[in-house]
Amino acid sequence: MDEKLKAFVSACDELAQSGCDASSCVSQAAPLMLELVKTGHRLLSPNQMQEDPKAYARNAIHLGDADGTSLFALVWLPGQWTPVHDHGTWGVVGVLEGVLEERSFLPADNFKKNSEYYELQTGGIVLLNSGSVGTFVPNPDHIHMTGVPEDREKAVSLHLYGRRMNNYHYYDLDNFTRRLIDISHFETR
């Protein structure tokens, strides 16, 4: 692993294990991510830049223990999107190449935390270009979909999560439901 990546992961794992609240964790991790993305995608090995023509590629760089962080390099080809989802943790995203689009979703008035009925309405859009950093915190969960429209170039982004990110809640907009799904990744460490 690149030395800058190692230092970043180490500092972020210390943050996660310090017991900081989500807002404090992202406030401290965001400037670290900003310095890291200035390096561009050359800090990643070819193995960490794998693409998948069928779906966006999640390349695992670091998978911490249950109390640690995880870091992925995501490669987005034109037209590739996540489903609508949340993370259940805090996170920091840095864009190494291209423009990443995030479309937010907000709970409708009848959305109840313990309900089985999850009605969402569309929110805003954020465009993160190369060198940009974005953050999110849970409670309320950050519900969104992320990707690259067909008419844009490939994007490469780093995603740091405040937990081992092996699943997330998927929201079915047509049926007003959500379910926890396991998500896969390429092993690159």
Q: Kindly list the distances between the CA atom of residue 176 and the CA atoms of 60, 103, 161, in Å, as whole numbers in the listed order.
A: 31, 18, 26
pLDDT computed for residue 34 by the predictor: 97
H-run or E-run covering 39: none
Q: Kindly list the distances between the CA atom of residue 62 and the CA atoms of 82, 125, 126, 179, 189, in Å, as whole numbers in the listed order.
A: 20, 28, 26, 25, 7
d(CA 2, CA 36) in angstroms, rounded, equals 11
pLDDT computed for residue 110 by the predictor: 61
Per-residue pLDDT tens listing for the chain (189 residues)? 789 999 999 999 998 888 889 999 999 999 999 999 998 878 999 999 999 999 999 999 999 877 789 999 999 999 999 999 999 899 999 999 999 999 999 988 666 665 778 889 999 999 999 999 999 998 777 899 999 999 999 999 999 999 888 889 999 999 999 999 998 888 765
d(CA 179, CA 73) in angstroms, rounded, equals 25
pLDDT computed for residue 112 by the predictor: 62
pLDDT computed for residue 189 by the predictor: 53
- For residue 152, count CB atoms less than 10 angstroms from its CB and return exposed for 0-12, middle for 13-18, buried for 19 or more: middle
Q: Could you tell me where the DSSP H helices lie in the chain?
A: 3-17, 22-37
pLDDT computed for residue 123 by the predictor: 93
pLDDT computed for residue 88 by the predictor: 87
d(CA 167, CA 34) in angstroms, rounded, equals 26
- Please, are residues 15 and 89 in contact by the beta-carbon 8 Å criterion? no
pTM: 0.93
pLDDT computed for residue 108 by the predictor: 82
Tell which residue, 177, 16, 174, has the closest CA to residue 90: 16
Q: How far apart are the first and last CA of the chain?
A: 7
In this structure, what CATH number is given to the domain that contains residue 82?
Answer: 2.60.120.10
The domain of 150 spans 3-187
DSSP 100-154: EEEEEEEE-TT--TT-S---EEEEEEEEEETT-EEEE--SS--EEEEE--TTS--
pLDDT computed for residue 166 by the predictor: 87
pLDDT computed for residue 116 by the predictor: 78
What secondary structure letter does DSSP report for 78? Answer: T
Per the structure, the count of domains in the chain is 1
d(CA 24, CA 21) in angstroms, rounded, equals 5
pLDDT computed for residue 55 by the predictor: 95
Rg (CA), the chain: 16
